[in-house]
Chain A
Amino acid sequence: MREETSVTFRYLSLIALGYGAAILAVAAAVHFASAPALETMQADAKRSHLATKSGILRDILDELVLDVRILANNPDVQNYTLGETTTSLRAEDAILANPRFRSAALFDYKGRPLLSIRDPDTLNQTDRYLPIEYVEGLSDWVSGARSPAPRISYRPGDAPHSAHFLVSMPVQRAGITEGILTAETVVDLTNVLRADGDAPVTRLVTQFQLANQQKWTPVQTLPVAMEVPGTTFSLLADSDAQAIRTIGQSLIRTAILVAVAALAVPFGLMGVLGMRAIVTPHRELHLSKAELSDKSRELARLAQIAQMANEGVVVTNLPGHILWTNAAFAKITGYTAHEALGKKINGLLHGKDTDLAVSKRIQRALERREAIQAEILYYRKNNEPCWFSLSISPMAAGQDEDVQFAAIITDITEAKEARDELLAAREQARQQARHDPLTALPNRRALDDALDTLPPKSAPPRMLIRIDLDHFKNVNDTLGHAAGDAVLCQVATHLVNRTREDDLAARVGGDEFVVLLAPGATLESAQQLADRLGRDISSEMEIDGHACRIGASFGIASTHGGFISNKDLLKSADAALYLAKETGRGTTVLYSPQIHTSVLAKRTLTADIERGIANGEFLAWFQPQFDAQTNEVVGVEALARWQHPDHGILTPASFLPVAAQLGLIPDIDKAVFAYGLNRISMMNDVDPAIPRISFNVGVHQVMNQRLEETIKKWDLGKTEVTLEVLESVLVEDQGSGFLARLAELRLAGFRIEVDDFGSGHASVVGLQSMRPDGMKLDMSLVRPIDTSNTARELVKSMIDMGRALDISVTAEGVETATHAAILSQLGCDTLQGYHLARPMPFEELVASARIGFASDPLVSGPAKSAATAPI
């Protein structure tokens, strides 16, 4: 090692020494060769410096000239110059007004002096003043032979850097020179001429001085002069300043640096090549023995690892002859190393189900010397098939014919079986997801997929039949769900039998089926199919030994005619089916332009309702409820109204059916609820207060866990909130959670009443289990009580029942005084109806509350509208 270091050090020292000598030689050459160019550059630098100074000086002079020009244009100076006044006082005042002028003189058109002013404070008597040459050539000026540009003369001042400038300027009137004004000023040029920093010393010189400067300053270094534009004097840079010298040094430095960099390349190259050609072989000789020893040890270790591995390892040549195997190979395949060596691996492990395509793929990769991973079915020595994962890589080798490959073999039989099972299960699930498990028909998802893949418009037209079983519910109710299922399976069988292979028959709901006919079907063929299916379905079936007969309604939609698109097929068939159901079951209705118009109208209404909800057009009107005995108002019921921008106030009958179909009831309820609460909260200061406000609530509102929070957000004062639940809601199976929720709301302080009691199938038992605070008798029960004893008795018994259960009773539909009298007599607690008060907008409610709703509901007629009542 030491010897190796020593050789390298000696070699590199020699190179460095040569490199240093070359640099010294280049530096000397650069220095001597660049001297003339340096002088030129320094002169250029001085000229640039002078140009800057000259610009500054020119600015000063321009300012001076401007002052003189202003004076030359001064009316008093002009008047005196042109002899229009005999006194010079005003002209003198004008000149003296500018303190920068140390002296000034005015001459007339013949050059005769008119005026001379000297500043005794700043100009001593020894100062030269106004050389006559400034007036010389005046005739040229006056005759226009000379440009009217001002003339500037210079002489050095007493102090260093002080300069006397004399500006001569024609005095003109109407562009004609009629005199000359000269003004002298002393300017301190320290800031201009001072050698700041490393800049060269600069001096202002006259032409005379410039011509003789070599005589009075004999030792100069590169003197450079530059004339100040528009003047007769020059700037002179006459010393070798640090900044100028720096320019040369910088250049030399740069040149030497470039040379150092340039020489580094050949010397570096020499070093590198020399290291390779001389030092490295020498060093490698020393290393080879040690490396050989290390590699042998490493190979032994690798072989040991391969032998110990759990995965089988086999080394082959290109044709596939096995050259080496490890112990695990024998364990996995059953072949010992002895048995395997020299054999072709395919001959050893291939069996009848081995995928030859995979085998070929492996072979192609090997031929290209590429690594490859593959899964393949091989056979053990005992002929047992098993799945192997192969990871084959070419091993480093010299010649092609000597190339070897190492294959790592892993037994994945169990893992593969598990994976295949999983894939099979997934496929089954996928199939199930698209099929109805009961009838094995494609389900709604499959139908949707089929419809989605249809182009928006296609030719030929497509047909779709929608089928709904009539009275299927009765089968379920009477024979049980199993029978119902059997019926459905039977219907499915009819569908399969009657449709062609490329038709799609699907079950899309409980008792709803759809047939999407294959392209080429016509309206007639669709109609015929519906008829045949109708006959099949309505034929008698035997279910669990019972004869059973059901029917079906059909809605057919077609893209024929172009007024509906493929996308709307299902909806349109649904609309046709709906009509078929409405017009009488067991019929087939074809989706027609008329239906289309009706659908469009419904869509318009839909959009209208959605807009109305968004715009807050749904609100509440309020119908007062009266105590049957005292006639006092005991509450109001909030009733939904739609303040339509075009049609005015609309009652629920005009929008509720569509809203229900669209699922928009919760939104409307929410709006009405919020409106009612808001308005009642605004009545806190109205006396008497409204004791109670009732809202009709649906299941969704009751189950809304934030209902209490929503209500309590409003300050309702003493007003109590009643939630009216339809009797029909109670009848439907809402589960125990619904009743529990009602109990929860009661605990939270809200009254619960059953609305439209007597209109449906509510049972006394149900009423008892629910224990509402009140029930509202349906108006169909109340209306006939003045004409029918039976009705009267029925109502009486219901009032008695309410009393027995401690439930207050409210009668709706009180339309006459007789109704009111009878109900009061029967012991009804609360009355509500047109006879007493109609539903009214909030403003009217407020007014009515202030003036009183009605004097005596038993004897009076319908309550006056607040809008017409005197206030």
Chain B
Amino acid sequence: MVKFSLKPLMLCLALVLPGIASSQDQVTVYIDADYTLTQHPAEAIEAGLLAAISSHPNTANVRVITIDNRANARRSNDTLAAARNDPNAIAVFGGMHSPHYLVNLEQINNSGMPLLLPWSAAGPLTRGADGNQNWVFRLSVDDRKAADHLYSVALERGCQRPAAIAVDNPWGRYNMSELQNAADARAQVLSEALVLHNTAGERTVTDAAERIVQSRADCVVLVAGFELTSTIIAHLAKADTPPKIISHWGILGGRITEHVDFDSIMATDLEILGTCGLHQYAARSIYHATAERHAPETMHPREHPAPHGFYHAFDLGRLFLLALDRAQLDAQWDQGIDAQRNALRRALHNLEGTYQGLITDYRHPFQPVTSQTPDGHEALGREDLCMTRVARNGNLEPVFRDHDPAPSDQLDDARLYHDLGRD
């Protein structure tokens, strides 16, 4: 049930032996992710965090504990409770699924434990409470922006009659609502809007595909998990004139080409939402090279089915470690674990400089959430959302737009550390 990653432990031991840090200084970070049903994002997140820790100085006292939540909110909640009760646990990194945290959001914000989200995209997660009551930080896609972004991408691609299919859970229903809002804002109507259960059978999906075809939709925006999305793509590809599919990144739970034949992917001209990590590979090659060098040997982000998990966890991990460095200097650091968690949150709010990351330059990424700053706990903005395609080998490839960031000059490793380490 509890999974300890070997590499950080070894790293931890190696760094602890010289005796720089005492056991009292040791901090533990929990990863609450689904290693059973959607293991690719979980692995990417773990690899990103480990790479961040590895690349950051003075992390000998940082220990990582991973616990598989099996996509079960109750397991996730138990993990959060275990972390809360762990006197060394300073923060929890979340996994892929949003519903777990949505249903427990109030409890999370009352727990006094920072929850750092490198993947979960549900809009309300970072807006569950104001000011000092909000403990959820995110460096990922924000559905409050994603749905409108997906809709606008559909229009940019020339779609006249967009339709939408969403999974029947809080995440899917929220996105469907946002998509309808996006259409309303443009005085348009979705040609078809369907909500399907995650375990929808063949018959249900066939009927849904038939309805989409009959609605004469030329684009379908898909917001669903990996398996349901795969099934829908396979069915829509059979249509005489398959509609273009623009998918939320729920599909990245698995390697899609192992479940849908490539012809179907091509037939539906599939584009998948993500952030701009892949797009920035050239522009920020020095950072990417550094991150990959510190990543576990088995991790090759650009060949991974869920590279965003790595990019987000790396950048969020680096921001967390910067904040941790500052928190440990906080006057209240020695007043117990609750004080340390408070200190960490304050430090996160106070990262006021510009920090170079794999995705973007972070300028004061977090600040307390208020009615004036609803995106206070969102490190990324709408401009950081990008679309990707699936290559024949299953890897994701960036789809560039005119206003996507152009490759910039390479920076050296020293500058990276300099930028990340100082204001």
Q: How far is the CA of A471 from the CA of B322 in the complex (A)?
A: 150
- Neighbouring A residues of B71 by C-beta, 8 Å: 82, 173-174
- Neighbouring A residues of B37 by C-beta, 8 Å: 173-174, 176
A75 touches B100 (CB 8 A): no
Q: How far is the CA of A231 from the CA of B170 in the complex (A)?
A: 40
B58 nearest CB across to chain A (Å): 38
B250 nearest CB across to chain A (Å): 14
B169 touches A109 (CB 8 A): no
B68 nearest CB across to chain A (Å): 10
> B364 on the interface (CB 8 Å rule)?
no
A178 touches B70 (CB 8 A): yes
Known: A109-B74, A173-B71, A176-B36. A84 touches B197 (CB 8 A): no
Q: How far is the CA of A85 from the CA of B168 in the complex (A)?
A: 12
A83 touches B77 (CB 8 A): yes
> B199 on the interface (CB 8 Å rule)?
yes
Q: How far is the CA of A108 from the CA of B75 in the complex (A)?
A: 9
Nearest to A73 among chain B residues (CB) is B199
Q: How far is the CA of A178 from the CA of B36 in the complex (A)?
A: 12
A79 touches B72 (CB 8 A): no
Q: How far is the CA of A109 from the CA of B37 in the complex (A)?
A: 16
> B73 on the interface (CB 8 Å rule)?
yes
- Neighbouring A residues of B406 by C-beta, 8 Å: none
Nearest to B102 among chain A residues (CB) is A84
A83 touches B103 (CB 8 A): yes
Q: How far is the CA of A73 from the CA of B103 in the complex (A)?
A: 21
Known: A75-B168, A109-B74. A83 touches B197 (CB 8 A): no
A84 touches B199 (CB 8 A): no
Known: A174-B37, A176-B36. A82 touches B197 (CB 8 A): no
- Neighbouring B residues of A78 by C-beta, 8 Å: 199
- Neighbouring A residues of B103 by C-beta, 8 Å: 83-86
Q: How far is the CA of A83 from the CA of B100 in the complex (A)?
A: 7
- Neighbouring B residues of A176 by C-beta, 8 Å: 36-37, 70
- Neighbouring B residues of A81 by C-beta, 8 Å: 74
A174 nearest CB across to chain B (Å): 5
> B376 on the interface (CB 8 Å rule)?
no
A72 nearest CB across to chain B (Å): 12
- Neighbouring A residues of B36 by C-beta, 8 Å: 174, 176
> B99 on the interface (CB 8 Å rule)?
yes
A676 nearest CB across to chain B (Å): 70
B199 touches A82 (CB 8 A): no
Known: A84-B103, A86-B103, A174-B37. A79 touches B70 (CB 8 A): no
Count A-B pairs with CB separation below 8 Å: 50
B73 touches A83 (CB 8 A): yes
Q: How far is the CA of A82 from the CA of B198 in the complex (A)?
A: 13
Q: How far is the CA of A108 from the CA of B73 in the complex (A)?
A: 11
Q: How far is the CA of A81 from the CA of B103 in the complex (A)?
A: 13
Nearest to B99 among chain A residues (CB) is A84
Known: A75-B197, A83-B100, A84-B103. A109 touches B72 (CB 8 A): yes
User: Could you tell me which residues of chain A, from 736 to 788, have a CB within 8 Å of some CB in chain B?
Assistant: none
A84 touches B168 (CB 8 A): no
B73 touches A82 (CB 8 A): yes
User: Could you tell me which residues of chain A, from 34 to 72, have a CB within 8 Å of some CB in chain B?
Assistant: none
User: Could you tell me which residues of chain A, from 678 to 706, have a CB within 8 Å of some CB in chain B?
Assistant: none
Q: How far is the CA of A83 from the CA of B99 in the complex (A)?
A: 9
Residue interface mask A143-176, B partner, CB < 8 A = 1 = 0000000000000000000000000000001101
Nearest to A78 among chain B residues (CB) is B199
Q: How far is the CA of A110 from the CA of B74 in the complex (A)?
A: 9
A51 nearest CB across to chain B (Å): 37
A438 nearest CB across to chain B (Å): 100
- Neighbouring A residues of B169 by C-beta, 8 Å: 79, 84
Known: A75-B197, A75-B199. A82 touches B168 (CB 8 A): no
Q: How far is the CA of A314 from the CA of B76 in the complex (A)?
A: 132
- Neighbouring A residues of B168 by C-beta, 8 Å: 75
Nearest to B76 among chain A residues (CB) is A83
Residue interface mask A94-121, B partner, CB < 8 A = 1 = 0000000000000011100000000000
Interface size on A, residues (CB 8 A): 17
B102 nearest CB across to chain A (Å): 8
- Neighbouring B residues of A174 by C-beta, 8 Å: 36-37, 71
- Neighbouring A residues of B78 by C-beta, 8 Å: 110
Q: How far is the CA of A763 from the CA of B200 in the complex (A)?
A: 113
Most chain A CB neighbours (cut-off 10 Å) among B74, B76, B77, B199:
B74
Nearest to B107 among chain A residues (CB) is A86
Residue interface mask B56-85, A partner, CB < 8 A = 1 = 000000000000001111111110000000
Known: A176-B36, A176-B70, A178-B70. A109 touches B75 (CB 8 A): yes
- Neighbouring B residues of A73 by C-beta, 8 Å: 199
Q: How far is the CA of A173 from the CA of B199 in the complex (A)?
A: 9
B33 nearest CB across to chain A (Å): 15
User: Could you tell me which residues of chain A, from 366 to 391, have a CB within 8 Å of some CB in chain B?
Assistant: none
A82 nearest CB across to chain B (Å): 5
Which of A75, A83, A85 is close to B72, meaning CB atoms less than 8 Å apart?
Answer: A83
A108 touches B197 (CB 8 A): no
Q: How far is the CA of A541 from the CA of B166 in the complex (A)?
A: 130
A592 nearest CB across to chain B (Å): 80
B99 nearest CB across to chain A (Å): 5
Most chain B CB neighbours (cut-off 10 Å) among A79, A83, A86:
A83
B231 nearest CB across to chain A (Å): 14
A83 touches B70 (CB 8 A): no
Q: How far is the CA of A83 from the CA of B168 in the complex (A)?
A: 15
A84 touches B77 (CB 8 A): no
- Neighbouring B residues of A79 by C-beta, 8 Å: 169
Residue interface mask A168-195, B partner, CB < 8 A = 1 = 0000011010100000000000000000
A105 nearest CB across to chain B (Å): 16
- Neighbouring B residues of A108 by C-beta, 8 Å: 74
Q: How far is the CA of A466 from the CA of B37 in the complex (A)?
A: 111
Q: How far is the CA of A86 from the CA of B101 in the complex (A)?
A: 11
Q: How far is the CA of A178 from the CA of B99 in the complex (A)?
A: 16
B82 nearest CB across to chain A (Å): 12
Nearest to A178 among chain B residues (CB) is B72
B74 touches A83 (CB 8 A): yes
- Neighbouring B residues of A82 by C-beta, 8 Å: 71-74
A106 nearest CB across to chain B (Å): 12
Q: How far is the CA of A78 from the CA of B37 in the complex (A)?
A: 15
B201 nearest CB across to chain A (Å): 11
A850 nearest CB across to chain B (Å): 66
Nearest to B77 among chain A residues (CB) is A83
Q: How far is the CA of A398 from the CA of B328 in the complex (A)?
A: 146
Nearest to B170 among chain A residues (CB) is A84
- Neighbouring A residues of B77 by C-beta, 8 Å: 83
Residue interface mask B161-177, A partner, CB < 8 A = 1 = 00000001110000000
A739 nearest CB across to chain B (Å): 93
Q: How far is the CA of A535 from the CA of B90 in the complex (A)?
A: 151
Residue interface mask A646-682, B partner, CB < 8 A = 1 = 0000000000000000000000000000000000000
Q: How far is the CA of A78 from the CA of B197 in the complex (A)?
A: 11
Q: How far is the CA of A84 from the CA of B100 in the complex (A)?
A: 6
Most chain B CB neighbours (cut-off 10 Å) among A75, A78, A82, A110:
A82
Q: How far is the CA of A394 from the CA of B36 in the complex (A)?
A: 112
Q: How far is the CA of A467 from the CA of B74 in the complex (A)?
A: 126
User: Mind listing 12 A-B residue pairs with CB under 8 Å?
Assistant: A75-B168, A82-B71, A83-B77, A83-B103, A84-B170, A86-B103, A109-B72, A173-B71, A174-B71, A176-B36, A178-B70, A178-B74
Q: Which residues of B contact A (CB under 8 A)?
A: 36-37, 70-78, 99-100, 103-104, 168-170, 197-199
The 7 residue pairs across chains A and B that have the minimum distance between CB atoms: A83-B73, A83-B74, A84-B99, A82-B72, A75-B197, A108-B74, A178-B72
Q: Which residues of A contact B (CB under 8 A)?
A: 73, 75, 78-79, 81-86, 108-110, 173-174, 176, 178
19 new A-B contacts, CB < 8 A, other than A81-B74, A83-B72, A83-B76, are A75-B168, A78-B199, A82-B71, A82-B72, A83-B77, A83-B100, A83-B104, A84-B99, A84-B100, A85-B103, A85-B170, A86-B103, A108-B74, A109-B72, A173-B37, A173-B71, A174-B36, A178-B72, A178-B74
